[in-house]
Chains A and B, each alone.
Chain A
Amino acid sequence: MVLLAISRPSLASEATGNGTENTITTLPIVIWKWEEIHFPYLVALWVLVSWLCKLVFQLNPCLTRVIPESGLLICIGWVLGGIIYGADKVQTFRLQPFTFFFYLLPQIVLDAGYSMPNKLFFGNLGAILVYAVIGTCWNAATLGLALWGCWLGGAMGNIDTGLLQLLLFGSLIAAVDPVAVIAVFEEVHVNEVLYILVFGESLLNDGVTVVLFNVFDAFVSLGGAQIDAVEIIKGIISFFVVAVGGSLVGVVFALLISLLTRCTKNIQIIEPGFIFVLGYLSYLTAEMLSLSAILSCTFCGVCCQKYINANMDERSVSTVRSTMKVFANGSETIIFVFLGISAIDPSIWVWNTAFILLTLLFIFVFRFIGVFLLTWILNQYRLVPLDFIDQLVMGYGGLRGAVAYGLVLLLDENKYKEKKLMISTTLIVVYFTVMLQGITMKPLVTWLKVKRAAVSERTLAEKIQNRTFDHMLVAIEDISGQIGDNYMRDKWNNFEEKWLYWLLMTPIARKSCDPIFNIFHKLNIKDATSYVKEGERRGSLAFVRNESKADVDFNKKFGADFSEMIRDSVPSVCLDMHEQDLKMRESEDFDAHHLLQQHLYKGRKQHRHRYSRKHLEVNKDEHEVQEIFQRTMRSRLESFKSAKMGVAPPKKISKHLKKDQPQKVREACTFSSFPLVFITILLEFLINLNLSPGLAGIVNPAFMAEMDTMDPMPPMQQIPSWLAEAEVDSSNMVPSQRAQLRLPWTPSNLRRLAPLCLSTHSNDSFLLADSPATQEGISELPPPPPPQDGQGQGTHK
């Protein structure tokens, strides 16, 4: 509506504009300056309108559950397009390829690269490349050939095209689109391997698409006669050049960014800006050199994320993250809205039923065939094969989107007489895949998974046991080390530590990559602040346990509970659990089931992947991991103490542990060095206190008893009930061996921290509970003068 009002005056004022300029007879107080600013105004207005569309369908939440957001945006685009067309009788606004490729796409790709879970990506890179390269070539070739066959057979009537043109068409429509895939897979949460395969494929196939597009375009220009072996070989070579070249450009820019962030300590305020500018430049540079721009941008993001996250200040990092999400999400919205608007334009529509239907059919069929074939080949080599359902989802998730549309618009009308037909077909394909496949993806996955989910978890025992099995499997996987241990990975980590850290990271960042320092530092600060806060708040130090108990309030309505749970977590298709719990409503076991549901540790298998276009929060899983880790360490310490192990000379920290966790706390595995810290601290304490050596017979080192002996109770006068009752099974001790390893710190530094504490998650509780030599050392510990120590802790950094 607003646009109509604006566009009309624009035409009107153009006419009178000249008039008013030349003949003003009096001082105009206010002038209508439409023509001068109409371009930026329209741009801003369109951005606003597109983003407002997102608001519109949030009004009705059930709608978003059924139709993916991208589909809804397209629908709104249709409505808007209809309005504009109705007003102007011509489609004044359309998604221009230039705008799309240079202003809307880069930030999406940069965001994808920056937020890419690197370990997963590189771990599956082989499979991803197979799907991206061979899969896309297969799709393009089969589609082109099939269409050509049908054309020869006369099914399409009289259209002026040829084999090469159809191959070109095949190549541009074959590629799975990153924008559409992300948009739909956001709603449907699948396991992380599947996700990374589809996602990675959609990003990397751009290399192939660009090459095929250019090659076939050139062939069409050359004409069929001139194509001989040389040209074909050149085509193949160009593929490698484009793909590898594009990636290299990205890597070069990643290096630049990392080096730059090394030096921007003093201009932290615009530090985040550099990422965006350089990321964009990487895209443009690759485009300028006619290499694959998407690959360049992706690899730029992928390679630099670690270093810039380490180099930059916390606030800069979160600024970068949020801003990227804003841009990426915003661009995506605009793209889909305009995809809708562009359709409402009779001038581009040429309808050829056979062509369109055949294209749809072939795309679908050949995608599935391609996926199954390639997966079958890959499964021979993969450690963890992809099962049938995953393949089905992968095939079904081959969505086409705006990239195809953008490419088809770039075609030259003179060479391609049937350009309009191709545009129409592309649009239909995009709508079909995004809307239909998007809508049906979730129900399909649910149906498949529910069919497969054998366990009904009716009884508590089953529920507990299933979780135990999950943890067990993860543990055995870790022990047998098949997943994760990798000769290449170790070599890369070595190289990285030796050279890259030195080159690309500031000295401070490097030091904080030393995991122990980092964690210790973080936790100290955290504990200090929480300690002081609590003290202030309570006025006394009788801390009780964290009172925001996440226990379910059983007075609440059942429905409300679950909608909260569902809304809180990223939506998942693991609906088997929800269904069962719904059925549990009436039984009195509901409380117990619900409790288990909420509070059982999830374990690695159920942790969801971290990349999400919409959600920024830190994964709750990290807290869980932290908690588990602390408890394990506590128990080991406890057993170590109980075992009264002989004092072994501390050794240097083994190199391999350091290698594994160069990252910040964000990576779960940084906590692996926890044991070193605390066990060695303890050891030093105990050594100094002359513990009697002598090994208690390590009979059956089993899991330690009540870790709750360690539960943080600062004044130590208050011992929660279970603490007092804790049975320490003294016959089964795990000798805590990490006592072998030593930290570079002296105990004196750390001792200062001893009588502190204590949020439930504080590591200081280790020291606290353990400082004196006795088992129930609690009583013997002189109650620390808390306020002073609070200060001490506060100042100790």
Chain B
Amino acid sequence: MGSTNSTLSKIPNVEELMQETGFTPAHIVRLYDRFEALDKEKTGHLRPQDFGAINRLAMNPIGDRIIGAFFSPGQETVDFHSFVRILAHFRPADKKHPKDPSMPEPVNSRTSKLKFAFQLYDQDKDGKISRAELLQVLRSMLEMQVTEEQLESIADRTIQEADLDKDDAISFEEFRKSLEKVNIDHKMSIRFLR
């Protein structure tokens, strides 16, 4: 596995990465080891099938969606930087750092996390969750016994509750508003990425 420093030196632009994501060197090394373990063919990039090889993801109703979230539009592979950047969304928020308006929004802020979650729904990236997209997600998360009519009624009610401007779709602002009571940091953080 090599020492921390030697591994770090293998990664290009690691300083920038740490700065951007807020990970510690130890974390970067751990993630790099994981990246390499996933990248079986040692190409330096991950493809969807590498993610697919993670067995437990197949047992997750939205596993494939999450895999998809790692790939930016148009890209077929994920390099280490993108990998880390996506995972950085799941860092617990830094409570201590004061909000610095001049700095860009940190990757693990509440807004960024919500954006990530929003993206999972909004596949066509039009900034709105349409009824069809919502139906897709619901379908994947509900047991097979649920009928289509029930599914549609749930989707309708959900949109009804959240849709404030009555355009039959949920925009990011409406999404954020509907979740204002939820402790996003708690729900979307993984401790060991701290």
Contacts and interface: CB of A to CB of B under 8 A. Distances in A.
Q: Please say whether chains A and B are actual partners in one complex.
A: yes
A479 B148 contact: no
A480 B123 contact: no
Given A462-B178, A465-B179, A471-B61, A551 B68 contact: no
A197 to B, nearest CB: 17
B174 to A, nearest CB: 9
Nearest to A672: B55
B188 interface: yes
A734 interface: yes
B55 A657 contact: yes
A222 to B, nearest CB: 50
Contacts of B145: 546, 549-551, 599
B8 interface: no
Nearest to B134: A464
B191 A385 contact: yes
Contacts of A699: 73-74
Contact of A595 (B150, B183, B190): B150
A473 B187 contact: yes
Interface in A223-280: none
Contact of A737 (B48, B65, B139): B48
B111 interface: no
Residue of A385, A480, A700, A735 contacting most chain B CB atoms (<10 Å): A480
B63 A632 contact: yes
Interface in A695-710: 698-708
B90 A485 contact: no
A592 B153 contact: yes
Contacts of B192: 383-384, 482-483
Interface in A592-651: 592, 595-596, 599-601, 603-604, 624-625, 627-629, 631-633, 635-636
B188 A473 contact: yes
A461 B174 CA distance: 11
B51 interface: yes
B34 A481 contact: yes
A671 to B, nearest CB: 7
A485 B35 CA distance: 12
Given A599-B146, A600-B142, A737 B67 contact: no
Contacts of A720: 148
A661 interface: yes
A703 B52 contact: no
Interface stretch (A32-40, A437-445, A721-729): A721-729
B128 to A, nearest CB: 14
B154 interface: yes
Contacts of B186: 454
A246 to B, nearest CB: 34
B14 interface: no
Given A476-B90, A700-B123, A629 B67 contact: no
Contact of B37 (A465, A467, A485, A740): A485
B11 interface: no
Contacts of A760: 144
A542 B126 CA distance: 42
A418 to B, nearest CB: 49
A592 B157 CA distance: 8
Interface string B32-66: 00100110100000011101111111111111111
A339 B122 CA distance: 62
B150 A735 contact: no
A657 B53 contact: yes
A465 B60 contact: no
Interface residues of B, number: 73
Given A455-B182, A477-B190, A734 B59 contact: no
Contacts of A473: 90, 187-188, 190
Contact of B120 (A472, A591, A592, A704): A472
Contacts of B18: none
A395 interface: no
Contacts of B68: 700-703, 732, 734
B75 to A, nearest CB: 9
Contacts of B71: 700-701
A664 interface: no
A480 B154 CA distance: 33
Interface string A563-598: 000000000000000000000000001011001100
A660 B63 contact: no
B140 interface: yes
B143 interface: yes
Contacts of A467: 141
Nearest to B90: A476
B169 interface: no
A730 to B, nearest CB: 13
A471 B141 contact: yes
Given A384-B192, A480-B190, A738-B52, A674 B144 contact: no
B60 A460 contact: no
A590 to B, nearest CB: 11
B170 to A, nearest CB: 8
A704 B67 CA distance: 11
Contact of A461 (B48, B76, B162, B190): B162
B49 A468 contact: no
Given A461-B161, A595-B154, 6 more contacts: A465-B179, A466-B187, A470-B187, A672-B58, A700-B71, A734-B52
Q: Considering the complex of A and B, which 4 residue pairs feature the smallest CB-CB distances, nearest first? A: A737-B49, A672-B55, A703-B65, A702-B68
14 contacts: A383-B191, A384-B191, A460-B154, A465-B182, A480-B190, A481-B37, A550-B143, A596-B142, A596-B154, A601-B141, A668-B59, A669-B55, A708-B139, A735-B48
